[in-house]
Chain A
Amino acid sequence: MAHKRDTTSIMLAGVGGQGTILAAKVLSEGLTRMGYDVKMSEIHGMSQRGGSVTSHVRFGSRVDSPVIPLGGADCLCGFEKLEALRCLPYLKQEGVLIVNDLEIYPLPVLIGAAEYPQDVLQRLTREAEGCLILDAHGEAEQLGTSRVENILLLGALIHRLDLDGFPWKEVLQDLVKPAFVEMNLEAFALGRSLA
């Protein structure tokens, strides 16, 4: 849009149950504490049930639409490869792309009615120069559980977007269940160092 504004838009795309919502919550809470106007939106069909899920986080001095327009995302973080590719039309030409090198087969693929494309990473790297590919699932498993892959990816995203200079630790401590805080802090730190 020719209309000038300072809104930054971040899209998290994944599969129901991957924890995109918690990651978006931590991100938007931190941005709120930084003093930005923030809007966040969750988009999913028929509850979750293994379908595609996207979380939209936007911040700036004034945010209007809570939903990111096509071609309007400054950063796209794909929690699953196919979902990253599905949401690519949202990424700005010069936008930052972060991809979890993970395949989760949708039902049509599981039952043999469709093929999981073999060239997802090639298509992503061809489209977005400097695309960051992470094995967040495997790295998180090494920390103890793949369930913290969401916070690991968030760590990478925050580093790539130069949002490091903020006490994210406090936000994580406030939003994550006490029993899981430590592991999430580890995952967050690891994500930052990998980015």
Chain B
Amino acid sequence: MKKQLLTGNEAIARGVYEAGCRVAAAYPGTPSTEILENLSGYPEIYSEWAPNEKVALEVAGGAAIAGARAFCSMKHVGLNVAADPLFTIAYTGITGGLVINTSDEPGMHSSQNEQDNRYYARHAKVPLVVPSDSQQCIDFTKEAFRISETYDTAVLLRTTTRVCHSKSLVTMNPREDVPQRAYSKDLKKNLMTPGNSRPKHHEVEARLESLAEYAEKSPLNYIEGNSREIGIITQGIAYQYAREVFGDRASYLYIGFSFPLPKQMIRSFASGVKQLIVIEENEPFLEDELKKMGIPCMGKDRLPLCDELSVSIVANAFRDILGDSPLTIRSASEGLPPRPPALCPGCPHRGIFHVLSQQKDAVFSTDIGCYTLGAFPPLNVGDFLFCMGSSISAGIGFRRADISYGREDRKVYAVIGDSTFFHSGMTGLADVVYNRTPLVTVILDNRITAMTGHQHNPGTGCTLMGEKAKEIDIPTLVKALGVEEDHIRVINPNNLKACREAVQSAQEAKNPFVIITKAPCALLPEVKKRSAKNWFAVDPDICTGCKACLNIGCPAIRMREKKAYIDKDLCAACGVCFQVCSFKAISMGRKQR
């Protein structure tokens, strides 16, 4: 078969498909999102967006108990959300194979922390599989299903951004036809009460011993090259960097099956080389194990714990050993202005954020999504953030602390998007109502999960597989949670007058208050089509150059010859700038084409 270029994510989806998987669930999160998007292209697999990662893993876990091969996927922090089912699915085991993908993000390109989820495998006592390119993403995924069924365990598949988002050549194979494995009611295996869990823990420990034996013969652990001078133990993308720097000057022990470790293989490899190096990204997961085994090696004494690894970092760290001369790097790029991501022209978050930014002595507990970008200048709507869904609950705590010190006057706003609200914001709002905390919650409903590239969610009326779905109506939900009807406002965030009235009412409210802004993301095709015809233009004769329109942080507006200027190609005709101009210098025009 012809070789094709696939990203790691496309390749994992292909591996899941070829392995005969039947049920797959995920919550979108960079860099993992495209796996499920690609899986939804295979009609043989039921695939769904779950409201959060815990639900996704429970869906996959239930399917595995029923005897189907099942898969679930999430970004690294998603596994924190799904940790609860993970640790007990580790006890029940499976009927059909279960593979859980965690996509970690060294370098935090789109994440709030840099946790190394390889430790989850050891903590939950489940096997760990780590591929380094797209072909391995297919092959290791398929092997992970076999391991799962042979050893009656969920398997953790761990990738990182560079493996997920890089393309390399793969050979594809047909789908395996896997019959449903017979489910039989077995409470001792599948129902984890204390009486059943105690013997299960012993079984889990015994299973780890069998898996340690498998590690020694696993095709995922292999040696490359025959240098006896330098031996490198590595895995994941770090292997590619090591290979580029050391080439044939080293031999490699690739640890694709990395928990439990192939200890005999490691000992024998280590004894065959003069210098042993462990090259891994972020934490010393492998290196610490070697040290426990009493095997001396180089590694984190030279390589950083923080941020992404790279060819340059590896080359610099071992330059003395290799005797390579350093590359000359140009230095003409110092002091350049940064280009951070920004809210798009026409973004429906801009109007409400502009109004919120004018509230004096207000604190904004923000959340995870495009709207996190509103925390930065010029809008400055955002003070603190922990994780998905934390805005409302952390807002409660801030407000309660203020109240306990008599600071009733300082308003606290929780700002959260539609998908994040469904993910884990709803429980926070239940707390607000239950404990009567005078918090203002602003739910930004832009009708899509936008940040990760437009995925559907329970509020959009469409499933991952493209079927029509029942939309969960946020105002009805908020009412059902117990927020008083006259304390709920549903507004169009592009209408600044409506925003100001809603925020004014919220400022005066003594009880839990909810503002729901409803306007679709400016990048949705139907919105782009509508906005393509119109734009707003500045009349330079009227413009005074006061820069009020610059304060909304729209990438389409800039100063040109001391007057505001709107880029016609970028303008999405939301009209927010038109509303902030006190001199009526901005008016709507129609685009020619």
Give A residues with C-beta under 8 Å from B.
1-5, 15-16, 28-29, 32, 37-52, 63-67, 69-72, 82-83, 85-89, 91, 93, 105-117, 123-124, 126-127, 146
Contacts and interface: CB of A to CB of B under 8 A. Distances in A.
B166 A67 contact: yes
B244 A65 contact: yes
Contact of A41 (B165, B327, B378): B165
Contact of A106 (B240, B328, B340, B557): B340
A72 B372 CA distance: 35
Given A49-B343, A89-B333, A108 B338 contact: yes
B17 interface: no
A28 B241 CA distance: 20
Contacts of B310: 65, 67, 69-70
A87 B336 CA distance: 11
Contacts of A72: 311, 327
Contacts of B377: 108, 111, 113
Contacts of A146: 569
Interface stretch (B276-284, B317-325, B498-506, B573-581): B317-325
A28 B333 contact: no
B331 interface: yes
Nearest to B326: A71
Contact of B311 (A42, A50, A69): A69
A2 B322 contact: yes
Interface stretch (B82-90, B203-211, B245-253, B295-303): B245-253
Contacts of B166: 39-42, 66-67
B555 interface: yes
Residue of A43, A44, A47 with most chain B CB atoms under a 10 A cut-off: A47
B477 interface: no
Nearest to A68: B311
A47 B340 contact: no
Contacts of A38: 5, 167-169
Given A50-B555, A66-B162, A69-B311, A28 B339 contact: no
B312 A70 contact: yes
Given A15-B339, A110-B557, A1 B110 contact: no
Interface string B22-45: 000000001000000000000000
Contacts of A114: 337-338
B327 A123 contact: no
Given A1-B324, A45-B110, A89-B330, A40 B5 contact: yes
24 contacts: A2-B324, A41-B167, A45-B110, A46-B372, A49-B373, A50-B339, A64-B244, A66-B162, A66-B166, A66-B167, A66-B237, A67-B310, A69-B310, A70-B329, A71-B327, A82-B337, A82-B339, A87-B333, A107-B555, A111-B377, A111-B550, A112-B547, A123-B332, A127-B332
A83 B339 contact: yes
B110 A67 contact: no
Contacts of B569: 146
B451 interface: yes
A67 to B, nearest CB: 6
